[in-house]
């Protein structure tokens, strides 16, 4: 049996306050890395909400087309909620609470067909 090849990569860790951030990109230690972590946390928060409140679960499909459809529907749901949330200036959970309480209806207008004039 052949030995496993050695893998080598550069990784860095930045500590800010009580949090640690890691990356493998050189020169990306400050604003770029923190911004990506913030964005990832927001996306994970939205998907957690989709899972808890809408029953969105992981895929159980083995066909590529079904996997892509599952991902596409999740991203459409994410986009609709995020668009409305930003427009109202709410957090995801604030938006979710209003949707559950019936104080807010999900805006589906971005899904409506757009009529384009013939050129």
With a cut of 50, which residues of the chain have pLDDT below it? none
pLDDT of residue 47: 74
Note every long-range contact of 88-95, with CB atoms under 8 Å and residues 24 or more positions apart, other chains counting: 92/42, 92/45, 92/46, 92/49, 93/45, 93/49
Give pLDDT, residue 87.
Answer: 92
**Contact yes or no for 72/61 (Cβ under 8 A):** no
Q: What is the pLDDT of residues 46-67, one digit of tens each?
A: 777 777 766 677 666 667 777 7
pLDDT of residue 89: 93
């Amino acid at each position: 049996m052949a030995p496993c090849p050695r893998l080598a990569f550069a990784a860095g860790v930045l500590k800010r306050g009580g949090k640690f951030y890691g990356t493998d990109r050189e020169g990306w230690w400050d604003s770029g890395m923190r911004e990506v972590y913030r964005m990832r946390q927001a996306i994970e928060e939205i998907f957690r909400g989709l899972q808890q409140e809408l029953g969105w679960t992981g895929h159980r499909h083995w066909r590529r087309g079904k996997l892509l459809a599952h991902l596409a529907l999740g991203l459409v749901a994410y986009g609709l909620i995020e668009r409305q949330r930003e427009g109202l200036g709410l957090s995801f959970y604030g938006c979710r609470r209003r949707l559950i309480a019936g104080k807010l209806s999900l805006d589906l207008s971005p899904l409506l067909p757009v009529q384009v004039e013939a050129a």
